[in-house]
Amino acid sequence: VSLKGDDLDPNENPGGPKRAVIIGCDYSGKLGTLRAGVADAQQWARFFTKRCGMVEQDVRFLCDDPSQYQQKAHPECSVSTHANIMRALQWLVARSSAGDQLFFVFCGHGAQISVEDMGRKLCECALVPTDATDGGEYPRLVTDTDVHKALLAVPQGVQVTLVNDSCHAGRPLDRSGFDYLTEYVSRGRVDYEKLRGHPVLPRFLEIPNWRARPRPTSVGERDWNLRCQAVHWSACANSQFCVELPIDERPRGVFTYIFISSLLKVGVQASSSMLLNEARDLTAQLKGRWRLQQDVQFAHCRSNSEQQPFLRL
């Protein structure tokens, strides 16, 4: 499907009442190369168009596989860079109104960034774009605060679903003070070069020489509740790590496999609580086979509940 003009400009291409941003990163040739981030994102894109009634014009698919983005009419808008992810996030939330359903899916690495002057070692959580380590004093990351700030603009009556198949998914929903900062999780020394040939790959990027972020401003010292009805699904608790591994003879993110399998079983109109129970049951079945260190996490805003359906048809 060819869009006119700038794919990520909400004025030129605003998208319909059901729309999605889907991001997949494999970081080919970079530190922490993955094998299934792009494939997982493709599976999500197919799921939304085939099972959720979304049209392709309402899905923005960003990745770092040239064979995928170079065939687009505007390939420069379809690469999973920091700038494009931030623009896609703004495209998603712009011009939203009651009744809209917005989905933001990320498949790739998560990261934790130390915050200066917070006493104990606290961190902000972030998504890792393709160009995260391409120079600069600080890494180019999309923090959970970036996502939170975008959602603050979304009005009441809009349903928002965030999906992270990555570690360190953070707390992008309602906030009270600095409660979104997390305890530092020590991963030891991670040899990403040695991991390249391993069939199981973790989805966190740990770089010891990244500079700490400046202390958050006083803006963090108050409550910030979202007006929209948002939920957040993530692959694992902050202290755990999620992985990709061979499933049916091809690399796949375990969380994407579990979550989409659960959706196919209970249906897209199932409540969040029903979907969570199904995902936990499937995780329990798979733990014995794969020795998993991940448990599906779910959070919702004060303005909604676990009864919110994944999709309203």
| Per-residue CA distances from 199 to 42, 216, 290, 305 (Å) | 20, 39, 12, 38
Q: What is the pLDDT of residue 217?
A: 66
- Comparing 112 with 288, the larger pLDDT belongs to 112
pLDDT tens per residue across span 4-13:
778 999 999 9
Q: What is the pLDDT of residue 215?
A: 72
Hey, which residues does 59 pair with through a beta bridge?
A: 20
Residue 232 has pLDDT above 80, yes or no: yes
Q: What is the pLDDT of residue 222?
A: 66
Quick one: tokens of 190? Answer: 């991670």
pLDDT tens per residue across span 95-111:
999 999 999 999 999 99
Confidence of residue 219 (pLDDT cuts 50, 70, 90): low
Task: Give the burial string for 196-219 (b: 16+ CB within 10 Å, else e).
Answer: eeeeebbbbbbeeebeebeebeee
Residue 257 has pLDDT above 70, yes or no: yes
Q: What is the pLDDT of residue 6?
A: 87
CATH domain 18-300 topology:
Rossmann fold (3.40.50)
Confidence of residue 249 (pLDDT cuts 50, 70, 90): very high
Q: What is the pLDDT of residue 1?
A: 54
pTM, entire model: 0.96
Q: What is the pLDDT of residue 74?
A: 84
Confidence of residue 115 (pLDDT cuts 50, 70, 90): confident
Residue 236 has pLDDT above 70, yes or no: yes
Confidence of residue 137 (pLDDT cuts 50, 70, 90): confident
What is the C-alpha to C-alpha distance for residues 161 and 272, in angstroms, rounded to an integer?
Answer: 11
Contact 79, 23 (CB under 8 A): no
Domain definitions of the chain by residue range = 18-300
What is the C-alpha to C-alpha distance for residues 54 and 71, in angstroms, rounded to an integer?
Answer: 21
CA 90 to chain CA centroid, Å, is 15
Q: What is the pLDDT of residue 220?
A: 52
